[in-house]
Amino acid sequence: MRLLLLLTLTACGGSSQLQENDVVADGQIIYPAENSLSPVTGQMAERFRSLMTGDPNHFSIIGDESSASSYFLSCLKSVTEKDDKRLEPVTHFLAGGGPDPFLHRGNAVAAGAGFQNLKGERIQSEIELRNPSFAIALAGKHDLADLSLDEYSFLALEVVEEIKGQGALPVLTAMFPRIDDPELDEKTKLGNHFLRAVAQELQTPFINPSTTIDSSMQGEDLASPLFLGDGCDFSSEGLSYGHNARNSATKELLTTMLDVMSDSHLPSEGISLLTGTGTLNEPFSLGNVSDFVHLGNTLGGDSLIDFYDGCNAEQNESGAEVYYRFELSEAGMLHANVASDNGADLDVHLLAESADGGSCMARGHKSIQAAVNAGTYFIVIDSFTGNNGALEGRYMLHLDVDHGE
């Protein structure tokens, strides 16, 4: 685990608030669940530019039928600002030459496709053809129908790494709700948290249109997300519809990308950083447990707890573990979910303040739910050990506490 260093002067409950003009030597900025677009600071912009080796006038789209829809992006060409001028990013990317990026869908967009169909040759050919500086990716509806959540989450990481490896900045987009299938809808919600964990780990942009979507207004099936008007009605009512919310968040991204490429000043106030190394002595310290996500790795971590006697658990957990510490000021219901990479077998545990096996309050192979009072707690991701040794490796964690408000 790398050390997440802070050069800020104020700390609050284990995460730190950066003030404008502060400099962070090394640290992972936390991506809040309620943001339609992940934070972008000056330092992150420098990183973005280092990854954007393609043509600054071009971007690519990667996805399924929601990206193929004529209600995605095309209406932005009709949106005007003051003096009836087109939006600046629209003017910029239309002037780049080649196929119209707001209308033309390239080699990596196909109805009925998922990341498992698009990775490899299709993404490679799209990037070779368009030479984009960044690529906006949304897929998962079809992947989640036949892949486990673990498989999908690490497939998304593979796709993002593939895009990055070909010289384009990857921009993941959260999936739309699935009210046509309650079980798939829950799987989609958790999948979106893990997509956010991927983007947060790589510190690349994340678009989350689901923050404003009202599922009750979407009809019976979100196979083709609904829209209001032409898809660019950005009123509060309009933003409750799938395509409108995605177009609004994507418009924000395109504007931000222009600022990044022009090296414009990007404020950094209100940004939180994850502190700690994940060991027992230096646990990841969480100031805010609300919809927290993290992509971690037990390999090389502490190996201090072999059995969780407090939970009457017989499983051999003598592999390496990762520690998260948090404090609660009031009671609530804790929910924790973990996805394991291929070859890893990781379990999640809730411990009281003493942080040993005897203080285990709840454990599970993929998830736990437990009532908690005000106090100090640890979440421990531990590696199951079988006949062939410890099954250590990468994981994605989502943690939330519902206070019943």
User: Tokens 């077998």 label which residue?
Assistant: 345
User: Where does the pLDDT of residue 217 fall: very low under 50, low under 70, confident under 90, or very high at 90 and above?
Assistant: low
Q: Quick one: tokens of 375?
A: 């106090």
pLDDT at 66 > cutoff 70: yes
* pLDDT per position as a tens digit, 87-100: 899 999 998 888 88
The Cα 3–Cα 108 span in angstroms is 37
For residue 181, what pLDDT band results from cuts at 50, 70 and 90? confident
pLDDT (tens digit per residue) in 303-356: 999 999 999 999 999 999 999 999 999 999 999 999 999 999 999 999 999 999
Residue 16 has pLDDT above 80, yes or no: no
Domain map (residue ranges) of the chain: 35-261, 276-402
Residue 261 CA, chain-centre distance (Å), reads: 23
Q: How far apart are CA 254 and CA 385, in angstroms?
A: 47
Mean pLDDT computed over 211-232: 71
CATH of domain 35-261: 3.40.50.1110
* 222-236, 330-344, 366-380, range with the lowest pLDDT: 222-236
pLDDT of residue 182: 87
Each residue's pLDDT tens digit, 389-400 = 999 999 999 999
Nearest residue to 87 (alpha-carbon basis) of 74, 77, 95: 77
- Inter-residue contact 362 to 368 (CB < 8 Å): yes
Q: With a cut of 90, say whether residue 216 has pLDDT above it.
A: no
Second CATH level (architecture) for the domain 276-402: Sandwich (2.60)
Half-sphere exposure of 377 (CA within 13 A, CB side): 28
Q: Is 336 exposed, middle or buried (0-12, 13-18, 19+ CB in 10 A)?
A: buried
Report in angstroms the alpha-carbon separations of 311 from 300, 332, 350: 25, 20, 10
Task: Name the 3-class secondary structure at 209.
Answer: helix
Q: For residue 269, name the pLDDT band (cuts at 50, 70, 90).
A: low
Q: What is the mean pLDDT of residues 175-187?
A: 88
pLDDT more than 90, % of the chain: 73
Kindly report the average pLDDT of the chain as a whole number: 88
pTM: 0.91
313: exposed, middle or buried (C-beta count within 10 Å: 0-12, 13-18, 19+)? Answer: middle
Q: Please report the pLDDT score of residue 152 as a whole number.
A: 97
Q: Quote the pLDDT of residue 22.
A: 36
Q: Please determine, for residue 267, whether its predicted confidence score (pLDDT) is greater than 80.
A: no
Q: Are 335 and 367 in contact (CB under 8 A)?
A: yes
Statement: residue 21 has pLDDT above 70: no
Question: Is the pLDDT confidence value at 215 over 80?
Answer: no
Q: Which whole number is the average pLDDT over 196-201?
A: 98
Q: Which of 15, 18, 9 is nearest to 283 (CA)?
A: 15
Average pLDDT of the segment spanning 283-299: 94
101-150: pLDDT as tens digits: 898 888 999 999 999 999 999 999 999 999 999 999 999 999 999 999 99
Tell me: pLDDT of 404 over 60: yes
**If residue 198 lies in a helix (H) or strand (E), which one and from where to where?**
helix 182-202
